[in-house]
Amino acid sequence: MPSRRTLLKGLALAAAASATPLPAFAETGAAAGTSADWIPPLRQMRGMWIASVVNINWPSKPGLSADEQKAEYLAWLDVAEQRKLNSVFVQIRPTADAFWPSPFEPWSQWLTGTQGQDPGYDPLAFAVEETHKRGLAFHAWFNPYRVSMQSDPSKLHPDHPGRKHPDWIVPFGGKLYYNPGLPEVRAFCQDAMMDAVTRYDIDGLHFDDYFYPTNTTAFDDSATFAKYGAGFPDLAAWRRNNVDLMVSEMQQRVLAAKPEIAWGISPSGIWRNKASDPLGSDTNGGQSYDSLHADTRGWVKKGWLDYIAPQLYWYIGQPPADYSKLVPWWSDVAKGTGTLLWIGQAAYKAGDPAQTAPQWQDPAELSKHLTLNRNHPEIGGDIWYNANDVKVDRIASITTAVNDHYQRPALAPVLPRLAGGTAPHRPVVAYARRRPGGVEVRAVATGRQEPFQFAIFRFAEDAAADAFGDARNLVAVVPGGRQAIWTDQDGKAGDHYYVVAVDRANRTSAPSNGFRVL
């Protein structure tokens, strides 16, 4: 089931969502996600997708002033903080256009309503800076091949590459796409995306689930296949190789240009069904390997990604694609590969009146997903689609999941290939003293590099050296810098505070000195 395609069906929901206040967290009591033997992890991906295409999330409509766009983005960061997330995945190249002054492609029409029109500021620079001020990670989300949501090339900006190279463009299904079979298209798309990677301080390069839009010849690349398809058994195999080249080459370019950032993809959730391939999942849905020519399992097994985030947008027990069957299947795929596994969660379905299955009207359904994930150590967290639904929380499903599973803060995961890098310098707790509002803790960095974050731990007594590997005593993750001051409203006399410095790769220092509150 190609995921987000169905979500472009109407913008009334998006408009309503942007106007709806964020509900306060409710107490859930004995939550489905709590258990006496569960230890909250120190590291866990907690992200949300902020979509820009057809103004799904940000900006909420074209033509807003620069100040209005900035205010909207800051409000999305408020949502991320209130929902206890640590990362945002922001769509900055939705339709072969740009949310930054790109030398390759025009300004996005979703900013001003007119493709190529300068919005009056640099949205990407602003978004990255403000995200980092909150101590959140910024993953730049790109759509690799989609050129336009309409099918008339003459409506593209006169300087658009699709106008200059009409042979690069393939119309299909009322949209325009770059032709993935052309080597020059593949190189150009990589260049356009790497421009953002090299010029901006992003934390990750992220692809969504759109590759080839179909597995039929209705997507007319016959001339390209005739030119480049020699040696392949059929059109589908050649197309899959074209996508494989994009993925593998993208990895190499990221590693060469900025190896400290994460590179990953959020594909549709079914690679192949078991009926088609004995290696496939026990499902009967749309297959990315066949329908999109995306060999998602192969990418993981070949080590071409830092992480994969399959969109498992089905409820537990759903035929023909059961969440509880796909989770162990993907866990098995990722096991032992060094590729991190995060799960794309369908916040957009919870409480949607159009979803007639009772599971999607159950406030605990998404929390049950995260509870099930705990049985699979390969799963390192979740990304929620989309920001509007995380905000609006129609039936308190997000509130329930957050209260059940995000009781403690969490650092974002460390990429295995970066785990052995240089750790940050050990910080110092300058003081931890009682104030009218709680205990004020002052953390101070040491060394020349300022930490990206400080992780603050509270213990009832002196902490052992091995007490910092999980989040049982983690009380806050705050933005870094030369120093940080944070107030613990639950702190009291006799508590012991420690601080750990965290760098941009999420590596941690040795714990600071302990400071006992008098």
SS (H, E, C) 70-103: HHHHHHHHHHHHHCCCCEEEEEEECCCCECCCCC
Question: Are the C-beta atoms of residues 49 and 384 closer than 8 Å to each other?
Answer: yes
**Residues sharing a CB contact under 8 Å with residue 103, sequence separation 6 or more, in sequence order:** 195
Question: Are the C-beta atoms of residues 48 and 386 closer than 8 Å to each other?
Answer: yes
pLDDT computed for residue 37 by the predictor = 84
Torsion of CA 52, 57, 58, 59, to 10 degrees: 100
Express each pLDDT in 238-251 by its tens digit. 999 999 999 999 99
pLDDT of residue 4 exceeding 60, the answer is no
Question: Are the C-beta atoms of residues 412 and 382 closer than 8 Å to each other?
Answer: no
Question: Are the C-beta atoms of residues 288 and 4 closer than 8 Å to each other?
Answer: no
Paired residues of 41 in beta bridges? 470
pLDDT of residue 20 exceeding 90, the answer is no
The percent helix, strand, coil of the chain (3-state, each to 5) is: 30, 20, 50
Paired residues of 497 in beta bridges? 458, 515
CA 75 to chain centre: 18
Cα–Cα distance measured from residue 512 to residue 498, given in angstroms and rounded to the nearest whole number? 6
**Residues sharing a CB contact under 8 Å with residue 419, sequence separation 6 or more, in sequence order:** 507
Residue located via tokens 């909207």 = 72
CA 252 to chain centre: 21
Closest Cα to residue 516, out of 449, 436, 459? 459
Q: Which two tokens stand for residue 177?
A: 């796409």
Average pLDDT score over the chain: 93
Closest Cα to residue 44, out of 379, 281, 425, 488? 379
Residue located via tokens 């899959």 = 240
Q: How many CB atoms lie within 10 A of CB 412?
A: 28
Closest Cα to residue 383, out of 345, 331, 326, 328? 345
pTM of the model: 0.94
Binning pLDDT at 50, 70 and 90, where does residue 21 land? very low
The upper half-sphere exposure of residue 68, i.e. CA atoms within 13 Å in the direction of its Cβ, equals 11
Length of the chain: 518
Cα–Cα distance measured from residue 271 to residue 444, given in angstroms and rounded to the nearest whole number? 48
Express each pLDDT in 171-191 by its tens digit. 999 999 999 999 999 999 999
Express each pLDDT in 189-222 by its tens digit. 999 999 999 999 999 999 999 999 999 999 999 9
Question: Are the C-beta atoms of residues 261 and 204 closer than 8 Å to each other?
Answer: yes
Binning pLDDT at 50, 70 and 90, where does residue 35 land? low
pLDDT computed for residue 7 by the predictor = 42
Closest Cα to residue 404, out of 89, 83, 77? 83
Residue located via tokens 């990895």 = 251
pLDDT mean over 12-39: 43
Residue located via tokens 């001051």 = 485
- What percent of the chain is modeled with pLDDT above 90? 92
Cα–Cα distance measured from residue 8 to residue 155, given in angstroms and rounded to the nearest whole number? 20
